[in-house]
Structure 1
């Protein structure tokens, strides 16, 4: 009995007692992991007798194993999506940066051309006025 009590205490501390599963929401969107199946539901714990307590410890242990496997899948799925988003953002940032740099180069070239034209015209007009 002491071993199962210690196990249950550890499981409770590791997993928490929350049985309300809420999908993650951000800006009105709900994210769900791909190819992970359904999130395992935390079992009800019955401590009304030794037999029910022991059965609850077994259920919690099984839940812990399933939840850890599910959590690993969620982490892999999230990492995959985050990497794809990051790569897309990187590509978009590069596109915007390159486009902005091209505009700046065109404007700089226009300034140089206009300045050179005005300078040449000023020199020509000053010589003609003498």
Structure 2
């Protein structure tokens, strides 16, 4: 019963935990995965007052879309940076622990052999 409860709990936690990976690194270039497409830069039409006013109206929408897009990039980039740093730190800590264990085993073996 305890095993079944543990399995159900672990499964639920796995499904409810958000993905830590946010972007994709390919060929040395990082790209966000969840920010959609970069908004196309609007053109300013100065052919008439009406065309100019329409351009300014489009520009306001573009600014909002661009702000959302670049905020998303910053959030995803930060999440990936944190994940990369945490993973590297964990790997280095595991390596240090392994080296320390080897050194302890060498010391214990050396002391044992010196007593013989």
TM-score band by shorter chain is 0.5 to 0.7
Could you say which residue in structure 2 is the equivalent of 1:90? 89
| SS of corresponding position for 1:42 | coil
Instruction: Tell me what 2:65 maps to.
Output: 66
Alignment root-mean-square deviation, CA = 2.2
State the shift of 1:114 in Å.
3.9
User: Which residue number corresponds to residue 19 of structure 1?
Assistant: none
Which residue of structure 1 lines up, in the alignment, with residue 77 of structure 2?
78
Relative contact order: is structure 1 or structure 2 higher (C-alpha 8 Å, sep ≥ 6)? 2
1:76 shift after superposition: 1.8
Cα distance in 2 for partners of 1:27, 1:68 equals 25
Larger radius of gyration: 1
- What CA distance in whole angstroms lies between the structure 2 residues aligned with 1:35 and 1:27? 16
Length-normalised TM-score, structure 2? 0.65
Deviation string, structure 1 residues 84-104 (Cα, Å, up to 9, x no partner)? 222222221111110111112
- Structure 2, unaligned stretches of length 5 or more? 1-24
> How far 1:34 sits from its partner (Å)?
2.1
List gaps (5 residues or longer) in structure 1. Answer: 1-25, 118-130
Q: Normalised by the size of structure 1, how large is the TM-score?
A: 0.59
